[in-house]
Structures are given as C-alpha cells and as structure tokens.
Amino acid sequence: MIPKRFQHRSLFIKLFVITVLLMIIVSTSITWTTIRMSERFFINTFSITNSQILKQVEGSIDTFHYSLVMASNQLIQNNEVKNYLTKEYSSLDLLNSYYYMDQEIERTKRFFSAHDIGVLIAGKNGQVYTSERSQWPISDQELYASDITKLSMLYPRKMLYQVDPSARVPIIVISRAFLDRTNDSTYGVMYFTIREADFQPFYESYTSPGNDILLMNQAGEVVSSNRHDLIGKQNWSLLQYANELADRRLDYLTTTIDQEDHIIFSTYIPSIDLYLINMLNKDVAFADLIDTRAIFLLCMLITFVAVIIVFLVSQRLTNSIATLVRQIDHVSENQFDHYMTLQDTYETKKIGQAFNRMLDELHMYVEKVVESEKQKRQAEFAALQQQINPHFLYNTLTSVQFLVQQGSKEEAVDTVRSLISLLQSTLSNGDEMITVKQEVENLKHYVFIQQKRYGDRIHVDYFVEESCTNILIPKLILQPFVENAFFHAFNEQETGFIHIYTWLDDHRLVCEIVDNGKGMELKKPIEEGQRKSSSFFKGIGIKNVDERIQFLYGESYRVLVQSELQQGTRVRLTLSVKGRR
C-alpha cells in the first residue's frame, strides 16, 4: 500500500520500483550469461586452435616414427644382421660380426640423426648388440625377461611404444620384432631408446601451467608427458575419456580430475597406436581470461548509474503527465500486445481508454493484413514447390532414356521401378513436409537411378543421426544438391564420393552434402548477398531450395556453400525443428 500522501505520485513510484527490480534482474542475468558465454566461446575457440596444434604434434611424431620404420626395415632386410641373431659364432667370427654390426648400426642411425637415439638388438641365439648401453642400462637377462620383449614377440608386426620408468631417468623404448616373412617366425627384437625428456620437444612448446599434454598407449600407460608424475603410470579414467571422444566423435569433454574441473581434448595417432591427450585446467585457464569480480563491479556500477537516470527521467515524465493526457486523449501508445487496465490514477485511466479504443481498431486491421500475407506466402510457396517437380522429373527421365538407348533392358526395368517408387513418394503424397527418413529414402531411389547411368564410380554414403529420422523437413530439400554433385562435380575424375550427413546441433537440424569432386574457386563461403552472382544458385532446383528455406524458416536460415578447386564442395542447410512425426 502506498501512503495516502504519496498516492498522487503512485505512477512514478510503481514505475520506478518495477524498473529498478527489472534492471537488477537483467544486470544479474547479463553478468551470469556473459561469464558463461565467455567460457563457452573460449572453449570453442580453444578447441579449434587446439585441434590444429594436436595435428602439428601428430605430424611431428609421425615424421619421427617414419624415420624409425625406415631404420627398422633396413635392419630386417639385412642378412648379416639376421645371421648375427640366429647363428652360433666362433670367437674370431664373433669379433668380425661385431665390426660389421657397428658399421651397419652407424648406417642405420642416419635415418634419425637429428635425435639422440640408442639402438639395441637381441636375437633368439642369445646374442645382444647395443650402440649405447649407458642410455638404457639393462642386463641381458632383464632384457629377455622384460614385458617390453614379451609384448614385442606377441605382436611381431607392430612397432610398440613403451616406457621403462624403472630406469634412472624415464626411457621410451620403441621395439619391433625381427620377423621372417617366409615362415612367419621371429628371430629377435630391436629396441630404439630415447630419453623421455628428449621426446618432450615434440609437444613441450604447446604446454603451460594447467595445460598438459600426454601420450598414452592402449594399456592406459602414460608413455610421455610434461607432467613427470604421470609418466609410466596407468590412468584408466583418461583412457576411457580418450575412447569416449573417439567413439562419439566429440571435440572435447569436461570432467573432474583430482577434484578440479578439466577440459579433455584427444586425438588418436594410428601410426604409433597412441592417444595424444590434452588436459586443460578450467580454473587456471579462466583465471586470467575472465575477471569475475571486475565484471560484477562494472555491472553494479552501470546499474547504479542507470537507476539514478531512471529516477530523474521518470519523475520528470510523471510530473507532466496530467498535461499530456489532455493533449493526447485520442492518441495511443505504441504497445499493441495487451489492453491497459483502467485503474490507479486518473491519468492512466485516460491513457488506457484512448489506447484500448485504438487497439480495437488496430486488431481488426492487423487480422486482415496477417490473413492476406499468410495467403500470399502460401501461394508463393506452392508455386516454388511446383517448379521443383517438373525439373526433377526431366533430369530423372533423361537418365532413364540413356539406359534404354544403351540397351540395358533389366537395368532399365529396375531404374523405372525406382523411378515409380520415387514418384509415388514425391508426387503422389500431398504432404509438403516429410520426415528426414523419407527424404533419405527418396535420395536412395534417386541415387540408384543415377548410378545405373554413371555406374559405381560415384559412391554415396548416408550418415543420419538416429534422433533426426522423424523430424519434418520440406520435400526434395536435399535432392537438388545431390543431383548437382552427380552432374557437375565429377566431370574431370573417374571416381568420387558423396557423403550426406544429418544431425541435431543446439535444437537445429543440420544437413550437409559433401563431395570430393572438382569443386569451385571461392574466396569465402557463399552466403547472403552473393547468391545472385554465384553460378551455383543458377539452377532451378537449388535456387528454389534456397527460397523455400527462407519462406518456411525465415531470412536467418539459408544455404551455406563452401568449395575449393580440386578439393570438393560442402553444402550446409541449417533448419529449425518445426515438428516430428
């Protein structure tokens, strides 16, 4: 209740109190949203950058691994090395063999001369050769009994990366069995040893406090890391996260490690059968990025200044409202969504009466305009839809005509059957909206027809997320882009592929048609403003798809085209989820 002596100021008091409350709510919401959006933006941006970094690290490791593969292949193909590991020697012959092994190992080292790598070879005859025993001081008995040797013999066709944490300093041992491919038997094991500290430069420059990188094998053992406390230890939870990222094709995931929030990035390096994992501590990463206290204080300061301004402005407006009422008795406020309640002060009653009278007239007019615009949009959409069907039918019958001219009777019959099924689905069905599953089935019929004409040189795959199959989309929304790929993308190459992806992204349906055809020269993706000048949108089918999307979903939903010469084309359609069936 407002005291009686203040009732003549009731409008001002109510407006001021409500405005202050709303400003506090809005400022709090904006502060919270800003912090959350900043965190998400940082994670997404870091994910993109980190992906490139992990690829660079992977490339460096692959180059290193390739040098070891070349060196190991040379040793396996050398008959003198094989004799040393399989035959029994006299003392004199053994000395000669040592001399030859020294020369051969020196020749082998040229493959990895940029790195400090030791070479150790052990044969089934008990002979052991090492180029630098001090780097990995292990006795012959310990070597033959070690898990490293046993695993190498168990997987003779793989080059294994393992770590020996028991050494004075952690040593990474890359081992490979000598395999006689004529009888599929092993006659020894080669070991390439490198200090873990010498392996770290492959990724060390990309690490920082709270931003750690590690290499982990399939057994969950950390082979290398800038975190020395993790080297040589098994971490099953990190292995599970890496597998989850790979299986679900995620860019990253957030989890709690040692009671601290972390962001996990991972990529699998198939050449060395290791996971490259990046752990980012959220608290450390965001400490310098987001100053929560400063943001809060700034929002409070802005709110305080705004409250003072609102107080002064509201007071001035309400002081003059009595005079304004007499002048604008028949003039309405620009608020059309609700009627004003005729209560409180005399001034608001007069404004409410004028406003309500205006709304009565405006509502009648708006209803007529809305109905007229609705009928106009339906007519334009129907006209666009009718343009697609003849265009598609013409191109499809051209394909059938080609098969008949070639004399392929059975193939022509199969093609006509597919055409009948396709026409029954696309033309006979009166619904303008169909499910994603139905659209994909229509595409399969269409692709079958085209493959009868072009053969199997163009391979088409479908990757449809299960949760998308019952979402309603406009009929024939994807077919024009697949048709365009068939007719234009592979004119200069013998084989190729078309991949069709459909998934949900933040409550929006995303459809992509990707091919590896000849592509187009684009400096940037085709978006709004470029469609009239781009040859890609000259065709009836593709042009109408773009216009249909705008009619159904609005101006913000359009077709995005990315292409590069000799690299292929990617077409993305982002649609609002309007319903399911």
Q: What is the DSSP code string of 311-371?
A: HHHHHHHHHTHHHHHHHSTT---S--SSPPP--SSHHHHHHHHHHHHHHHHHHHHHHHHHH
Q: Same structural domain for residues 273 and 382?
A: no
Determine the pLDDT at residue 178: 92
Give the C-alpha distances (Å, rounded to integers) separating 152 from 71, 79, 86, 315, 426. Answer: 17, 21, 17, 85, 59
Residue type, 501: Y
Q: Mention every residue, 6+ apart, whose C-beta is less than 8 A from residue 403.
A: 411, 412, 415, 452, 453
Query: For position 259, which CATH number holds?
Result: 3.30.450.220
Q: Same structural domain for residues 397 and 252?
A: no
The phi and psi torsions of 229 (rounded to 5 degrees) equal: -75, -10
Last residue of a domain, one of 288, 315, 334: 288
Distance between CA atoms of residues 483 and 571, nearest Å: 13
Picking from 565, 485, 491, the residue whose alpha carbon sits closest to that of residue 523 is 565
Q: Same structural domain for residues 271 and 391?
A: no
Q: Same structural domain for residues 47 and 147?
A: yes
Asked if residue 472 lies in contact with residue 537, where contact means CB atoms within 8 angstroms, the answer is no
Picking from 154, 196, 198, the residue whose alpha carbon sits closest to that of residue 175 is 154
Q: Same structural domain for residues 222 and 85?
A: yes
Asked if residue 138 lies in contact with residue 128, where contact means CB atoms within 8 angstroms, the answer is no
In a domain, 329, yes or no: no
Last residue of a domain, one of 288, 314, 347: 288
Last residue of a domain, one of 248, 270, 288: 288
Q: Same structural domain for residues 66 and 171?
A: yes
Q: Same structural domain for residues 418 and 561?
A: yes
Task: Return contacts of 49-53, CB within 8 angstroms, 24+ apart.
Answer: 50/265, 50/278, 51/251, 51/265, 51/267, 53/206, 53/278
Instruction: Enumerate helices (H) and strands (E) in the chain, giving the number of each.
Output: 15, 17
Q: Same structural domain for residues 263 and 393?
A: no
Determine the pLDDT at residue 318: 63
Q: Same structural domain for residues 281 and 391?
A: no
3 state DSSP class of 539 = coil
Distance between CA atoms of residues 220 and 274, nearest Å: 10
Distance between CA atoms of residues 518 and 527, nearest Å: 20
In a domain, 2, yes or no: no
Q: How many Cβ atoms from other residues are within 10 Å of residue 447's Cβ?
A: 21
Q: Same structural domain for residues 273 and 408?
A: no
In a domain, 529, yes or no: yes
The strands making up 253-257's β-sheet, listed across from edge to edge, are 222-225, 211-217, 274-281, 260-269, 253-257
In a domain, 145, yes or no: yes
The phi and psi torsions of 312 (rounded to 5 degrees) equal: -65, -45
Distance between CA atoms of residues 199 and 213, nearest Å: 12
- Per residue of the chain (581 residues), give pLDDT as tens: 555 555 455 666 777 778 878 878 887 787 777 777 777 777 777 677 778 888 888 899 999 999 999 999 988 888 888 888 888 877 667 777 788 888 888 888 888 888 888 899 998 888 888 877 777 888 888 888 888 899 999 999 899 999 887 778 888 999 999 998 888 889 999 999 999 888 999 988 888 888 899 999 988 889 999 888 888 888 888 999 999 888 888 888 888 888 888 889 999 998 888 999 998 888 777 666 666 677 777 777 887 888 788 777 766 666 545 444 444 444 444 445 555 555 555 655 666 667 667 667 777 786 787 677 667 656 655 554 555 456 656 766 776 777 677 776 677 777 788 878 877 766 555 567 889 999 999 899 888 887 876 778 889 999 999 999 999 998 878 988 998 888 888 888 888 999 999 999 888 999 999 999 998 887 666 554 454 444 554 555 677 777 778 777 877 788 889 988 888 999 999 998 888 87
In a domain, 253, yes or no: yes
Q: Give the tokens for residue 444.
A: 């399969």
504 beta partners: 509
Which structural domain range is residue 496 located in? 373-576
Give the C-alpha distances (Å, rounded to integers) separating 351 from 2, 95, 355. Answer: 22, 112, 6
Find where tokens 């081992």 sit.
175
Burial (Cβ within 10 Å: 0-12, 13-18, ≥19) of residue 75: buried
Q: Same structural domain for residues 387 and 279?
A: no
Find where tokens 């390096």 sit.
269
Tell whether pTM > 0.85.
Answer: no
In a domain, 326, yes or no: no
The strands making up 508-515's β-sheet, listed across from edge to edge, are 458-464, 496-505, 508-515, 568-576, 559-564
Q: Same structural domain for residues 63 and 174?
A: yes
Picking from 224, 193, 220, the residue whose alpha carbon sits closest to that of residue 207 is 224
What is the total count of domains within the chain? 2
Give the C-alpha distances (Å, rounded to integers) separating 109 from 129, 314, 398. Answer: 14, 84, 63
Q: Which helix (H) or strand (E) holds 498?
A: strand 496-505
Determine the pLDDT at residue 332: 47
Distance between CA atoms of residues 467 and 301, nearest Å: 46
DSSP string across 379-399: HHHHHHHHHHHHHHHHHHHHH
In a domain, 495, yes or no: yes
3 state DSSP class of 70 = helix
Query: For position 499, which CATH number holds?
Result: 3.30.565.10
In a domain, 32, yes or no: no
3 state DSSP class of 118 = strand
b/e 291-328 (16+ beta carbons within 10 angstroms → b): eeeebeeebeeebeeeeeebeeebeeebeebeeebeee
Determine the pLDDT at residue 367: 78
